Amino acid sequence: MDSVSSVSSSSIAFTSAASNPFAPSKVDRAKPIVVAFPAKEKKANEKRRVSPLRASGMGGLETGKEVKLWGGRFEESVTENVEKFTESISFDKELYRQDIRGSKAHASMLARQGLMTISERDSILEGLSEIERRIELGQFRWRADREDVHMNIEAALIDMIGEPAKKLHTARSRNDQVQTDFRLWCRDAIDRIVPSVKHLQVALVKLALKSGGIIVPGYTHLQRAQPVLLQHYLLSFVEQLDRDIIRLQDCRAKLNFCPLGACALAGTGLPIDRSMTSELLGFTAPLRNSIDAVSDRDFVMELLSANSIIAVHLSRLGEDWVLWASEEFGYITPSDSVSTGSSIMPQKKNPDPMELVRGKSARVIADLVSLLTLCKGLPLAYNRDLQEDKEPTFDSVKTILGMLEVSAEFAQNIVFNKERILKALPAGHLDATTLADYLVIKGIPFRTSHDIVGRSVALCVSKRCQLQDLSLNELKSISPAFEQDVYEYLGVENSIKKFSSYGSTGVECVAGQMEYWVNKLGI
């Protein structure tokens, strides 16, 4: 036992299958083993639950709770409640690819700077690759007593290759390590979201291509306003999604700076090369200020803000299509493949996917609010509160990807009911503004024209007819400016033909917009 007591906790290595994360475990980890020590150390170590982690000469002993990699100054291990409350491995294991990638870059830099040997670097790189392989095969045991993804991977590496692995954390803190992992993860997430946004854009443009010539009522205040081409309406969402892409790309560019080497907050006196690790990880450059490097979460706020705006856009699309699928509108019919039924009403066919798109926008927005609230009162620099930034971010990305995917699928599986739309068009005097433009062309000031057309609509309301149904004499009784050519402006079809301004719903304008998007999206 004397040989055991002479070994410090920092030089321990795994020697039992029970403490090996790759080996099947029969150990009840809820019952930690207290190792016997010489009398002079017995009292302290009765409080400090010691495992064979990083120990030599302790083969065959079972273990419960390990001495932490940071446990050198502690005399007692944390309680089970504290350990359960503070662990993050249950969710931050999502970062394992980025953590391993960052560690490989860090090891390569340390070797070039003479802070580890080439042989040690190679052992570390090989060990990290093996750990990644086992994680992806489901053969890696994540341990809550190792707290987080960083400690799980580092401890497993120590188990696997021994002493060289203990050099990996040289000139690195978990503060800059998690920042590096998280920036890499968010960058990867953006690279997944952008193609999904483009996929929905393509679906909408293809739907528009099949909807040529269809006119629908345009609404303001949820009241009928003016006629618009259905293609124009669909392309309005394509434009919104394009701004979403620009926001994501801008977020990617701003987050693409490397915090690795900032350490806890003050940097290091060791001769590291932060530019090398930055380049190896595909970052633009190292972050200039080490305090900012470990405390900044702007990039996450921006990503979740961009996701929230996407969610709002999709929710508005969902709202329209849920309404349009109702019996009151009847503008669209979703296929059975994107509809659900009722458990009690046999006739029901519900556009549930778009209802849930509308509903899930709330959780994406809530994820952003959660993060903003989390960060609003934090002092510099790093605080453990920031552990709570992962789950809302993971949830936001997962949810927005699902919303984009199902919205595109819904767009691919609906048909517009032309006859129902055509039947609905006459109501609402959609051509009233075009009639006012007619009077402006005749030289009448717009405010006067507005009044004349208002009185014309009032006459239609009293007669329960449309503007095009009024006789020329009836129109002249309101204003002598009306001539026979006024009927070239009345009716939704004639009204659409009169739009000509850039970006308008005119036939030629919309044709130009369609051509632009077909070419840009490579359809």
- Written as one string, the DSSP assignment of 401-439 is HHHHHHHHHHHTTEEE-HHHHHHHTTTT-TTHHHHHHHH
The residue ranges of DSSP E strands in 256-383, in sequence order, are: 257-258, 285-286, 332-334
pLDDT at residue 256 above 80? yes
Please state the pTM of the whole predicted model. 0.84
* Count, residues in the chain: 523
Q: Which pLDDT score is estimated for 154?
A: 95
- Of the candidates 10, 11, 129, 342, the residue annotated as catalytic is 342
Task: Taking residues 394-418, report their average pLDDT.
Answer: 96
Q: Which pLDDT score is estimated for 173?
A: 93
Q: Is 342 assigned a catalytic role?
A: yes
Please indicate whether residue 224 or residue 64 has the higher confidence score (pLDDT): 224
- Structure tokens of 47? 């409080």
Q: Which pLDDT score is estimated for 68?
A: 65
pLDDT band (50, 70, 90) for residue 387: confident
Q: Which pLDDT score is estimated for 69?
A: 62
Residue type, 438: Y
Peptide bond into 381 cis (omega under 30): yes
Which of 60, 422, 72, 361 minimizes the C-alpha distance to 214?
Answer: 422
Task: Taking residues 165-190, report their average pLDDT.
Answer: 96
Q: Which pLDDT score is estimated for 385?
A: 80
Q: Which pLDDT score is estimated for 71?
A: 59
pLDDT at residue 59 above 70? no
Whether residue 358 contacts residue 325, with contact meaning beta carbons closer than 8 Å, is answered with no
Task: Taking residues 298-315, report their average pLDDT.
Answer: 97
Q: What is the CA radius of gyration of the chain?
A: 33
Summarize the chain as % helix, strand, coil (round to 5).
60, 5, 35
pLDDT digits (tens, 9 = 90+) for 429-444: 999 999 999 999 999 9
With pLDDT > 90 as the criterion, what percentage of the chain qualifies?
Answer: 75
Mean pLDDT over the full length of the chain: 86
**Apex 338 CA angle, 337 and 341, nearest 5:** 90
pLDDT at residue 21 above 70? no
Let me know how many helices (H) and strands (E) the chain has, helices first: 20, 6
- Of the candidates 221, 337, 462, 471, the residue annotated as catalytic is 221
Secondary structure of residue 216 in the 3-state scheme:
strand
**Distances in whole angstroms, Cα of residue 438 to Cα of each of 151, 408, 450, 493, 497:** 74, 41, 11, 15, 13
pLDDT digits (tens, 9 = 90+) for 100-113: 999 999 999 999 99
Q: Is 169 assigned a catalytic role?
A: no
pLDDT band (50, 70, 90) for residue 73: low
Task: Taking residues 241-270, report their average pLDDT.
Answer: 96
Whether residue 5 contacts residue 36, with contact meaning beta carbons closer than 8 Å, is answered with no
Q: Which pLDDT score is estimated for 79?
A: 78
- Structure tokens of 102? 């960052």
Which of 88, 86, 92 minimizes the C-alpha distance to 393?
Answer: 92
- Residue environment code for 362-388, b if the CB has 16+ CB neighbours within 10 A, otherwise e: eebbebbebbeebbeeeeebbeeebbb
Q: Which pLDDT score is estimated for 86?
A: 78
> Directed axis angle between helix 174-209 and helix 390-411, to 10°?
10
**Distances in whole angstroms, Cα of residue 159 to Cα of each of 18, 20, 128, 211, 295:** 12, 7, 12, 63, 31
Q: Which pLDDT score is estimated for 388?
A: 83
Whether residue 168 contacts residue 107, with contact meaning beta carbons closer than 8 Å, is answered with yes
**Distances in whole angstroms, Cα of residue 300 to Cα of each of 135, 158, 511:** 26, 32, 39
Q: Which pLDDT score is estimated for 28?
A: 35
Task: Taking residues 228-235, report their average pLDDT.
Answer: 97
Q: Which pLDDT score is estimated for 347?
A: 85
Q: Which of 79-83, 153-157, 489-493 has the lowest mean pLDDT?
A: 79-83
Please indicate whether residue 12 or residue 93 has the higher confidence score (pLDDT): 93
Q: Which of 104-113, 242-251, 326-335, 343-352 has the lowest mean pLDDT?
A: 343-352
Whether residue 32 contacts residue 68, with contact meaning beta carbons closer than 8 Å, is answered with no
Task: Taking residues 173-201, report their average pLDDT.
Answer: 97
| Per-residue three-class SS string for 108-135 | HHHHHCCCCCHHHHHHHHHHHHHHHHHH
What's the distance, CA 136 to chain centroid? 23
DSSP structural state of residue 74: -
Task: Taking residues 279-297, report their average pLDDT.
Answer: 96
Q: In terms of DSSP bridges, do strands 285-286 and 332-334 run parallel, antiparallel, or are they unpaired?
A: unpaired
| Per-residue three-class SS string for 132-151 | HHHHHCCCCCCCHHHCCHHH
Please indicate whether residue 42 or residue 469 has the higher confidence score (pLDDT): 469
Phi and psi, residue 149, nearest 5°: -65, -35
Cα gap 33→53, rounded to integer Å: 12
Q: Which pLDDT score is estimated for 70?
A: 58
Whether residue 327 contacts residue 351, with contact meaning beta carbons closer than 8 Å, is answered with no
Cα gap 495→493, rounded to integer Å: 5
Phi and psi, residue 350, nearest 5°: -105, 140
Cα gap 9→233, rounded to integer Å: 68
Q: Which pLDDT score is estimated for 36?
A: 32
Q: Which pLDDT score is estimated for 35?
A: 29
Other Cβ atoms closer than 10 A to 22: 15
Cα gap 344→325, rounded to integer Å: 20
- Residues sharing a CB contact under 8 Å with residue 134, sequence separation 6 or more, in sequence order: 22, 140
Q: Which pLDDT score is estimated for 40?
A: 37
- Residues sharing a CB contact under 8 Å with residue 298, sequence separation 6 or more, in sequence order: 254
Please give the span between the terminal C-alpha atoms of the chain, in angstroms, as a whole number. 75
